Amino acid sequence: MNTTMTIPKTVRVGSLSISPPLILAPMAEYTHSAFRRLLSEQGGYGALFTEMLSGTALHSENLLTSPYTKRGKDEGPVLYQLQISGQENLEAIFSKLKTVQPDGIDINLGCPAPDIKKRKSGTALFDDFERLRKTLHTCRELWSGPLTIKCRLGDGKLGWEERFTRRLALFEECKIDAITLHPRFSDEKLKRNARWNIFPWVVSQTGIPLIANGDIRSQRDVQKLLPDSGCKAVMIGRMAIMKPWIFKEICGESFCADYHQTWNKFCRYTIEDFGEEKALRKIKKFTLFFSQNFFFDHHFFTLINTASDLKTVLERAETFLQSNPKRSLF
Ligand SMILES: Cc1cc2nc3c(=O)[nH]c(=O)nc-3n(C[C@H](O)[C@H](O)[C@H](O)COP(=O)(O)O)c2cc1C
């Protein structure tokens, strides 16, 4: 049973007020315009992140029409996450990004995926202190609006704490407005539990507002985490794909989740924004998480994942969802 939430109402990130302090995480292939539109109809959040955007790829995109960067009028604050190495033409990247008037710009320092590391971004940029310093200073010079970073804890090898605090000091030096911390080490992917017990230590080491991320699943988690940790906001990823209404659930709003309608809307918005061919892949990806709402999640996921075309996906989903499938206990 959800109750009214007793957490701070707002977090300030530079000139931006995020209220409530509940934020959608950046997720590649997921937090595109169609999903953000679906969330904006549900509400309950204070800000949304785009997925990580390759700085180099931005050059050739029309940011006002691309589903990765365009935004709807009801989305509220949208922060754009950049995947950069620092060796690109940052001036060109920032001036292009400014055309969509971001509410904030975030630098990805936490992605451990091999292809991102190969491009010297994500955790590879976090690890290379001098390149990180130069890159963040340049970003700060080029962008006076809210500038944030998202990171993990580092490599976890002997002395990681000292290396981490050195970076916290660098973030202060570069006037970073907020830090999102996903407290896992670089090579852990999404294994083990996120180390929430580390948040109070990190808060004690920096004056920059800390946004907690990792395995946050419910109102109870938020109510425990925010006061206990000293973090100023929470960021939610996978649970928001599974339950796009998670933020209003956390706020204690009373509502009845409509699984069938949510699915239909997601498909419609994705087809509108990506076209039928590309939508098929996005819908299959979404189903990986959304199917976990159902007791026979594997059955629904397999039905959708093995369909060879969009028409079959939509027909199979309609039959499954009309059968009033038993829900999981999540
Ligand atoms: C499918 C997927 C894609 C992700 N893409 C990004 C990304 O583009 N940028 C980023 O900083 N983190 C990315 N992440 C990490 C999430 O933002 C988040 O840190 C992680 O999922 C832990 O939060 P959660 O437990 O609430 O899902 C991704 C995670 C997943 C599962």
Q: Which tens digit of pLDDT belongs to each residue from 37-59?
A: 999 999 999 999 999 999 999 98
Backbone φ, ψ for residue 149 (5° rounding): -130, 155
Kindly report the average pLDDT of the chain as a whole number. 96
**What are the structural domain ranges in the chain?**
11-251, 259-322
In this predicted model, what pLDDT tens digit does every residue of 94-115 receive, in sequence order? 999 999 999 999 999 999 999 9
pLDDT at 4 over 90: no
Q: Is 182 in the pocket of ligand 1 (CB under 6 A)?
A: yes
Instruction: Kindly tell me if the per-residue pLDDT of 1 is higher than 60.
Output: no
Question: Residue 33: pLDDT above 90?
Answer: yes
Token reading at 311: 């028409």
Query: How buried is residue 35: exposed, middle or buried, by Cβ count under 10 Å (0-12/13-18/19+)?
Result: buried
Atom of ligand 1 nearest to the CA of 215: 25
Average pLDDT rounded to a whole number, residues 130-148? 98
Closest C-alpha among 41, 47, 49, 39 to residue 76: 47
Instruction: Give per-residue pLDDT as tens, 270-322.
Output: 999 999 999 999 999 999 999 999 997 789 999 999 999 999 999 999 999 99
pLDDT band at 163 (very low <50, low <70, confident <90, very high): very high
Nearest to residue 33, comparing CAs of 1, 80, 94? 80
pLDDT at 297: 73
Helices (H) and strands (E) in the chain, counts: 14, 10
Residue ID of nearest Cα to ligand 1 atom 30: 27
11-251 under CATH 3.40.50.970, yes or no: no
- pLDDT, residue 296, reads 79
Helix (H/G/I), strand (E/B), else coil: 155: coil
Residue 5 is predicted with a pLDDT of 65
**Strand duo 22-24 + 16-18: pairing:** unpaired
pLDDT at 329: 78
Smallest CA separation from ligand 1 atom 7, residue: 27
Question: Residue 330: which pLDDT band, with cuts at 50, 70 and 90?
Answer: confident
Out of 27, 241, 286, mutate this one to test ligand 1's pocket (max ligand atoms within 8 Å of CB): namely 27
Q: Is 184 close to ligand 1, i.e. is its CB under 6 Å away? A: no
**Is any ligand 1 atom within 6 A of the Cβ of residue 104?**
no
Q: Does 3 score more than 70 pLDDT?
A: no
| pLDDT at residue 7 in the model | 72
Q: Which of 264, 194, 273 is nearest to 236 (CA)?
A: 194
